[in-house]
A and B are shown apart, each in its own frame.
Chain A
């Protein structure tokens, strides 16, 4: 389902160019607006659709298997932390609105700056533990699993 861009809505801002994981949203040098330069490398991931500030980008199902006349539109709102979808069928019989959360915290506020954490002790460096472990594995005081703690051995051969 490759993307396409509506001529009257696009102002050539380049948000889609900046975000596209496949590097296929480019600015046309004549119209100064964005377009999909390589539809057969488009994954219909909607990254550009979500990023467009003017809702100028839409998707038309792949020509080799998707008939015309459908619509799947989306608005992603980082401030409200939600994403809203609307799906319309070709025959008009189904028209769905679906809403989902995208985050539970104000954007970017809940992630620690590890440079500010106290440095790991030598014991920790020499152990198998990662940052915030063992606490974060089980959310209690239990240690990390080892072969010994779990009564296990690694043995060559066919053992099932």
Chain B
């Protein structure tokens, strides 16, 4: 270890990862902790970090209570149905009742929200989405975080959480390294809000070679939200609930505005509507509660995202691909055409580049769609993440242990991708969750829960050694070979990532197997995962940049193992179109109307799985009927 050790002591609230959730946490912490020391540790540069780095063209979660549009419970019901029932409704309701106050602040801070010229309300894209010119969404919220934080450490890759040596299962800070200087950074803190990102790149992507970076979720979303928490022994939930996206082919450009605002629609390769014909069979798989083929159009319930994927996948496998987005009608209107392009430039520039490169003008040609490789995250139409406490005025006892958004590790909070069971938070909801966690963290400290924390020098030294081991390993074994990257003593981070992606793809239901897995496959996957875990002890990093990739890979590996364990545990096919358990192809509400909860023992690496009850919001009238 030829680098300096930099210790930041006496922190009250440490925020690891400053994307939407992290900036929300930092901003809000200052209000509830006037005299508290608030510190941010961010892997990149906070001005352009996280999933919103390149901007957004919509805010996908806005109730509009101000304009009399929706109540929080409406959004809970929507998210519940979209996730086939598997959500934490206390957390969802809590996010939904606060989210508008975040959006109203964004507007005040200068974020351009579009208005409906007729009503004066925000321009709706769909029932929950409002349209924005959000190229600078991230720099704006970063500015707010900077105003509140005492210190911002950019370019710190946080690798591990520090644990209290005085009291078991209590957090004491975090450690990591500076990806520029290579310095070892130790943050001693009373609380930690883990606001790191979900996981892209754990399943083999459809793209090859150079295009491997064109993933739907940002390539820098390295599953640190899960890697950090799992390693600290926090309980996780719904990690099997990976998401597959139907998007514009290759560029993965978003389709939300196209469907909702531009009123484009899909058809198969021979120009037919294809979705509805798959629904009667699908309805038998999942049950009428989830897909009512006769009643669906009457009830106006949106069809769950995964079920629409199911129709897409089956239609393509039946030989009637490709699936097209019919843009040629909408794009005749020059105003809508412009919106179609702005939508990409605002959040997925790559799709505009691809259409320019392939001469696809959606005015004269209906572009192709595809279904993506799976992603593991907790803020889009999926709810992977930590098992966190809800707020005291909402949560039933199984969901409540004192502080809102606190994980099962004391003083350790989760928000955004890190909080489980809260899908459909998106950017504004993640920011809101960060705010909620911040208030709770300050209260935790004020209640005296963080007294007497001890971090031994032994722990600091041990982590330091561990962090830089890949570089040591490289130094020791590099010269045993003449040149190149083939070495019997180590693998490099790219080689490890390739192995992880292949494993997850083939055994956990990736694209090459049409999202199919089963008990046997998952068990083989787990066996191979153990070997990968062992080999990661021998990973080699040539320089500090590779050291960053090595630790990102470790976080991805920990996330992936949890995905395998959870997928194995839930013996049913809850989300056809996200993945299939070939040995249990039906949705099984008798046995599996529950949330899955796991814990990995930090000492032994052994997993224990349990079922947690699934509570639903019901109104007084619904209760009478039930």
Contacts and interface: CB of A to CB of B under 8 A. Distances in A.
A147 B107 CA distance: 28
Interface size class of A (residues with CB under 8 A): 35 or more
Given A89-B359, A105-B109, A154-B394, A43 B72 contact: no
Contact of B98 (A37, A38, A133): A133
Interface in B266-284: none
A37 to B, nearest CB: 7
A37 B350 CA distance: 19
A22 B219 contact: yes
Interface string A59-101: 1011111111111101010000001010111110110101011
B27 interface: yes
Contact of A21 (B48, B210, B395): B48
A130 B80 CA distance: 25
Band of interface residues on B? 35 or more
B45 A19 contact: yes
B97 A103 contact: no
A26 B180 CA distance: 10
Contacts of A125: 32, 443, 446
Given A40-B212, A42-B213, A130-B101, A153 B354 contact: no
B342 A100 contact: yes
A114 B30 contact: yes
B500 to A, nearest CB: 15
B353 interface: yes
B485 interface: no
Given A114-B27, A115-B148, A139 B66 contact: yes
Contacts of A74: 345, 349
Query: Which of A1, A19, A22, A96: most chain B CB closer than 10 A?
Result: A1
A86 to B, nearest CB: 10
B209 A63 contact: yes
A111 B350 CA distance: 31
B610 interface: no
A139 B64 CA distance: 10
Nearest to B99: A137
Interface string A112-130: 1111010110000100101
A47 B52 CA distance: 11
Given A40-B210, A100-B345, A133 B101 contact: yes
Nearest to B72: A145
Interface stretch (B135-143, B165-173, B313-321, B460-468): B135-143
Nearest to B80: A160
A20 interface: yes
Nearest to B179: A23
A156 interface: yes
B92 to A, nearest CB: 11
B206 to A, nearest CB: 10
Contacts of B28: 114, 130-131
29 contacts: A2-B210, A18-B45, A19-B45, A20-B44, A21-B45, A22-B219, A23-B220, A44-B214, A46-B54, A46-B349, A62-B207, A62-B213, A62-B350, A64-B208, A65-B211, A70-B357, A72-B353, A93-B361, A100-B133, A105-B109, A111-B147, A113-B147, A125-B443, A125-B446, A145-B73, A154-B615, A155-B618, A156-B396, A157-B616
Given A23-B155, A72-B352, A158-B289, 7 more contacts: A23-B220, A43-B218, A61-B357, A113-B147, A128-B391, A140-B66, A160-B85
**8 A-B pairs with the lowest CB-CB distances in the bound complex, closest first:** A105-B110, A136-B101, A45-B54, A62-B211, A44-B350, A70-B356, A66-B357, A114-B30
